[in-house]
Structure 1
Amino acid sequence: MLAVMVLGLGLGGAPAHANGLDSLEQFMRQAKTGRAQFTQVVTAPAKPGQTARSKTSSGIFEFDRPGRFLFNYQKPFVQALVADGQTLWMYDADLNQVTARKQAQVLGSTPAAILTSTHDLKALQADFVFQAEPDKEGLQWMRATPKAKDGQIQSVLAAFRDTDKGPALAVLEVQDSFGQRSVLTFTAYESNPAFSATNFQFKPPPGADVLRP
């Protein structure tokens, strides 16, 4: 269920009629850190003669821009996706296995880059095409499409909810090039919490197999 995707929640004085792109830009500019509970539903494309199957997981997401985040999956299986600014760690407790990759090589054209890598939307326009989408369900939507045609991510939709503290990310929807759809929703957001210096550090558990592809 681990996926290279990052969530973020924004704050701070959005205009009353801001569109989704305005909300994203303000989130990037003002949300230094954040914490939220998340639910992720991953739906694979249906095989001939079968209905599509979905898997649901949940946990806690934290971020500290630029470039540090943690997805702590708690149900149905204990897993973790941790970016410490240099290395992206993926940990599977059942397998007692860790995969470590250089962060710069794997996060370039992903939702992680959009929501945690920088404070400046313009810095991402070399890799993505951004556009506002029509409002629906009381949310402001935007779409990011990677310019690279050979990546795994086909498109990213993000929806923001306007609050008295500014835009908060409500939904993140990722469509990959294999037809798989991942939808993440967020609750219990905390804006700009203080994290310890070790919060985004990861040490492989004793005895774990560590793979460095």
Structure 2
Amino acid sequence: MFASGAAQAQDSKPQDGLSALSVFLQSTRSGRADFTQVVTLPPRASDSGTRVARTRSSSGSFAFQRPGRFRFVYAAPLPQTIVADGKTLWLYDEDLNQVTVRAQAGALDDTPAALIAGAADLNTLQKSYELANDGAQDGLLWVRATPKARDGQTQQLRVGLRAVTPNQVELGAFEILDSFGQRSLLTFSRMQVNVSLSADTFRFTPPAGADVIRP
């Protein structure tokens, strides 16, 4: 009887990506994690004539609070901070001492942020994306999300989710393919969900002396 009950508890976890994404959207209010990002650029010809893919890596920390707030801090190799406070999107390039400011509305529609911090449920997401289960890999349940609008920079998103319990799903990874053939894989670690985050987490004030650009 104990074994049967354990099996039923296991079976009650989300069994595919769309089910896991639905649980994530409905049950996750906030979260924070560390991340690594590997960007693979389109291959180009080497001196020997062979096609060689190029990669670059970065790492940092990430926090979000639904709806509409998140913070990415790239610590290495190029320090950069991206903050969405619900109304404004801030991008701070530390090396250039430059802040780019945009209205948040519409700027994130075809980005991972729309899946993490924006949409309330699958029905909302399906207004902007074609969603499909994309199998299981590396302990994650994957969803493929193709933007319905074809004029954006993002061609396709894949989100990998980890089903911890029937009512708790963690964000495990994102894979992004853009219109230039560039592929980015973000892998999250030490994920904490539904944590208390201070309001200052999602505030940004341009540093003194920084150039502020409003395209």
Displacement after TM superposition at 1:14 (Å): 8.7
CA distance in structure 2 between the partners assigned to 1:211 and 1:113 by the alignment? 24
CA distance in structure 2 between the partners assigned to 1:76 and 1:183 by the alignment? 16
Percent of pairs with identical residues: 48
Number of the residue aligned with 2:20: 23
- When normalised by structure 1's length, the TM-score is 0.89
Report matched runs for 1:32-43 at 5 Å: 32-43=29-40
CA distance in structure 2 between the partners assigned to 1:153 and 1:14 by the alignment? 35
Larger Rg, first or second structure (1 or 2): 2
Q: 1:43 to 1:14 in 2, by over 3 A?
A: farther
Give CA-to-partner distance per residue, 1:16-55, whole Å, 9 cap, x none: 3520111111101111000000000011101234411111
Provide structure 1 residue ranges, at least 5 long, that are not aligned to the other structure: 1-12
Displacement after TM superposition at 1:15 (Å): 3.0
Number of the residue aligned with 1:179: 181
Contact 1:30 1:119 in 2 (8 A): no
Q: 1:180 to 1:204 in 2, by over 3 A?
A: same
CA distance in structure 1 between the partners assigned to 2:19 and 2:41 by the alignment? 31
Q: 1:14 to 1:191 in 2, by over 3 A?
A: farther
Tell me the secondary structure at the aligned position of residue 115 of structure 1: helix
Displacement after TM superposition at 1:150 (Å): 1.0
User: Aligned-residue CA RMSD in angstroms?
Assistant: 1.6
Number of the residue aligned with 2:113: 112
Tell me the secondary structure at the aligned position of residue 205 of structure 1: coil
Number of the residue aligned with 1:163: 164
Report the residue type matching 1:127 in the other structure: S
Would you say how many aligned residue pairs link Structure 1 and Structure 2? Answer: 201
Give CA-to-partner distance per residue, 1:116-166, whole Å, 9 cap, x none: 113222112111111111223332111100001111001111111222463
Contact 2:143 2:160 in 1 (8 A): yes
Provide structure 2 residue ranges, at least 5 long, that are not aligned to the other structure: 1-9
Q: 1:103 to 1:14 in 2, by over 3 A?
A: farther
Number of the residue aligned with 1:212: 214
CA distance in structure 2 between the partners assigned to 1:85 and 1:61 by the alignment? 16
Number of the residue aligned with 1:74: 75
Give CA-to-partner distance per residue, 1:34-91, whole Å, 9 cap, x none: 0000000011101234411111110000000100000011111211010000111000
Contact 1:68 1:85 in 2 (8 A): yes
CA distance in structure 2 between the partners assigned to 1:14 and 1:118 by the alignment? 27
Q: Which has the higher strand share?
A: 2
